[in-house]
Copies of this chain bind each other. A is one copy, B any other.
Amino acid sequence: MIHNPAIDAMMDRASVRRYRKERPSREVIETVARAGIQAPFASQLHSILLSDKPKAPFGAPLWFTICVDLHKLELFMKARGWKRVTNDLAMLVFGIQDAAYMAENMVIAAESLGMGSCFLGESPWLADRVAEEFSLPPLVMPLVGLVMGYPDEKRPPRPRYPLEYSLFEGKYPQLGEADVAAMMKAMDEGYLAQDYYRRAKAKIPLEDGTVAEGREDTFSYDDYSWTEHISRKWGQWYRTPDDLLEQFAKRGFSLLPTAVSGAAAVAPGGGVPPSGAGEGKKH
């Protein structure tokens, strides 16, 4: 493992949930945002909202909402006499990447400036409320919240899977029982060694009306760890896509196939980008 200041800023980072009250200067805020928008991009399909409410999650002085933004794109396309024809799903696949690359630059910039940060993943489900608060035009979709400020706690970086289970050369391996056990062990023992969930009081309850119903919760904070925690999220939460699809629809995005949406037929051979290496591949 090679070390330098940029890599250390990434390796030493942990999400921060306690902040000092001090508000970062305008120069600090603009540096973070400016480093954000310099991220590699397709079409700058993003915007950064900064809340002016006095209260933010975890008492953070800065509360950003990172958005996918097709509004600015359509404004300049119209000024050029063009109309967007690319489907919304493709735009979202590119736009979420644009917004996420920007957000991650902001996270690392913050770290390098002595700040901490924490992502809040529920923004897409709250899109209508964010849209109202910020008077969002159509085609601006909140993707993720990001709080930021000077930390009032110092936490070690969290464990990750051993690298051999994330970097695969030539072939994705068949992961057998021993591999799964090794992945789980690294994560669960790593979090337990930090006493992470006890300190965060973060045990997720077993919910009525879910697949967990009737299951006895035998876990205490002595053995409740990462794989159980993550299992309780994706084994209980967000079962239907309908509410998220509705939030997308309210912001002007449709993810339906042509046969369902009844969109006009596409001219044969049209609308496919050129293949082969080169600019056509770099979005």
Contact = CB atoms under 8 A, between A and B. Distances in A.
A157 interface: yes
Contacts of A180: 75-76, 79
A272 to B, nearest CB: 7
A31 interface: yes
A145 B270 CA distance: 24
| Range, interface on chain A | 35 or more
A2 B113 contact: yes
Give this chain's copy count: 2
A2 B83 CA distance: 39
A113 B210 contact: no
A192 interface: no
Contacts of A222: none
B168 A241 contact: no
A175 interface: yes
Contacts of A145: 281
Interface in A1-58: 1-2, 4-7, 9-11, 13, 15, 17, 27-31, 33-40, 42-44, 46-52, 57-58
A263 B238 CA distance: 13
Contact of A51 (B91, B170, B269): B170
Contact of A134 (B89, B170, B235): B170
A76 B184 contact: yes
Given A6-B5, A33-B163, A40 B15 contact: yes
B181 A79 contact: yes
A263 B240 CA distance: 8
A194 interface: no
Interface string A181-207: 101100000000000000010101001
- Please give me the 7 A-B residue pairs with the lowest Cβ-Cβ distance, nearest first: A121-B283, A209-B270, A100-B100, A6-B112, A239-B271, A52-B170, A202-B279
25 contacts: A4-B113, A5-B5, A10-B38, A15-B40, A29-B167, A43-B234, A46-B166, A47-B166, A49-B172, A75-B175, A75-B183, A76-B180, A84-B234, A87-B238, A87-B244, A89-B245, A90-B237, A105-B108, A120-B281, A122-B281, A136-B172, A207-B270, A237-B272, A237-B273, A256-B257
Given A236-B271, A240-B271, 5 more contacts: A33-B167, A86-B237, A90-B241, A96-B97, A241-B255
